[in-house]
Amino acid sequence: MISQLPHIKFSDSNNFFLIAGPCAIEGEEMALRIAERITTITDRLNIPYIFKGSYRKANRSRLDSFAGIGDEKALKVLGKVSAEFDLPTLTDIHEPGEAAMAAEYVDVLQIPAFLCRQTNLLVAAAETGKFVNIKKGQFLSAGAMKHAVTKVTESGNPNVILTDRGTMFGYQDLIVDYRGLVEMKGFNVPVVMDCTHSLQQPNQESGVTGGRPALIDTIASAAIAVGADGLFIETHFDPANAKSDGANMLHLDLLEGLLEKLVRIRRALQARD
C-alpha cells in the first residue's frame, strides 16, 4: 500500500484508495464541484482519495476533439482543488518536458497506457520525486510492466503505482484479465483498477470513443474481490455533455452507492481473512 502522499496517510486506512475525477479539466467551477462531492463521500466512508483531472488531452481520435483549456490554466485549477479540499491531485503527462511543469501543481504524475514504454518520459517523471502512476499498455501483459516499474525505481524514485486499464480484444473492445492485478501486486507496488477506461470501445468510425458504463460496478467489484489496492473512476455530473470520454464515465450521482457496496465487499474479505 502507499505509505504516504501529501494530505493523506494511507496507512491510517484499511480501505482501498480512490483516484477519481473528470477525464479533463473543463474549468474551475466544474472541477471544484466534482471534488467537493467526492470528498464528502470518501470522508464519510474513510476512503483515501486522490483527485484526478487531465490538464491536456493529447491522445484524441480527431483533430477537432477537445484538448484542454490551456496548460497553465488547467494546472492552476488542479492546484486550487488541492488547496481548497486538502487533497492530493493527479494528472497525466505526455512528453518528458511536461514532467517538471506538472509536478509544480500535482502530487502524482500519470503515464498514459500508450506511453508506458517511453523510457525518457518515465525517467523524467521519476526525477521529479513525485508519485508516478503508470497505466498498463493495452498491448502489454501484466508481467511486462515490471520493466516500467524498474525504469522509475532505478532512477531513484520508489514511489510507483501501477494501473490496469484493460487489454485490447479485437479492434473495438477491451477485456480485463484479473490475473494481471495479482501478478502486478507481486512487484511490491500498489495496484489500481481503472474501472472506466477498461470499458471503452475505441476506434469507432465516427472518431468518438464509445463505452459501457453500466458495467463499471462489475469491473470495480471484481477488482476489490481479487485484492486491488485502489480504484480509478472517471466521473462527471453530466457525462453526456462532458468534453472528453463521456461515453464511459460514471455519473457522479451513482458514485456514492457504488463506493458503499465496494466498502462492504472489502470488509467481507477482511473478515474472511
- Residue 20 to residue 81: CA distance in whole angstroms: 13
Q: Say what the pLDDT of residue 272 is.
A: 83
Q: Is residue 5 part of a domain?
A: no
Is the Cα dihedral 249, 252, 256, 257 positive or negative?
A: negative
Q: Is residue 221 part of a domain?
A: yes
Q: Is residue 1 part of a domain?
A: no
Q: Say what the pLDDT of residue 236 is.
A: 95
Rounded to whole angstroms, the maximal C-alpha distance in the chain is 51
Q: Is residue 183 part of a domain?
A: yes
Q: Is residue 257 part of a domain?
A: yes
Type of residue numbered 39: T
- Residue 66 to residue 69: CA distance in whole angstroms: 9
Number of folded domains that form the chain: 1
Environment class of 48 (CB within 10 Å of its CB; exposed 0-12, middle 13-18, buried 19+)? buried
Q: Is residue 125 part of a domain?
A: yes
* Position 208 confidence tier, pLDDT thresholds 50, 70, 90: low
Is the Cα dihedral 34, 36, 2, 218 positive or negative?
A: negative
Which residues contact residue 141 at a Cβ distance below 8 angstroms, ignoring those fewer than 6 apart? 180
Strand partners, 92: 110
Q: pLDDT tens digit string along 34-46?
A: 999 999 999 999 9
Helix (H) or strand (E) holding 50: strand 49-52
Q: Is the pTM of this model over 0.75?
A: yes
Mean pLDDT of 197-221: 78
What length is written for the chain? Answer: 273
Domain of residue 52, CATH code: 3.20.20.70
Other CB atoms within a 10 A radius of the CB of residue 127 amount to: 16
Is the Cα dihedral 233, 239, 244, 247 positive or negative?
A: positive
Q: Is residue 3 part of a domain?
A: no
The set of cell numbers assigned to 34 is 466534482
The set of cell numbers assigned to 141 is 501483459
* Position 203 confidence tier, pLDDT thresholds 50, 70, 90: low
Q: Is residue 2 part of a domain?
A: no
* Position 13 confidence tier, pLDDT thresholds 50, 70, 90: low
Q: pLDDT tens digit string along 114-151?
A: 999 999 999 999 999 999 999 999 999 999 999 999 99
Q: Chain-centre distance of CA 273, in angstroms?
A: 28
* Position 209 confidence tier, pLDDT thresholds 50, 70, 90: low
Which residues contact residue 75 at a Cβ distance below 8 angstroms, ignoring those fewer than 6 apart? 55, 91, 101, 102, 104, 105, 106
- Residue 103 to residue 166: CA distance in whole angstroms: 27
Residue-number span of the structural domain to which 254 is assigned? 10-272
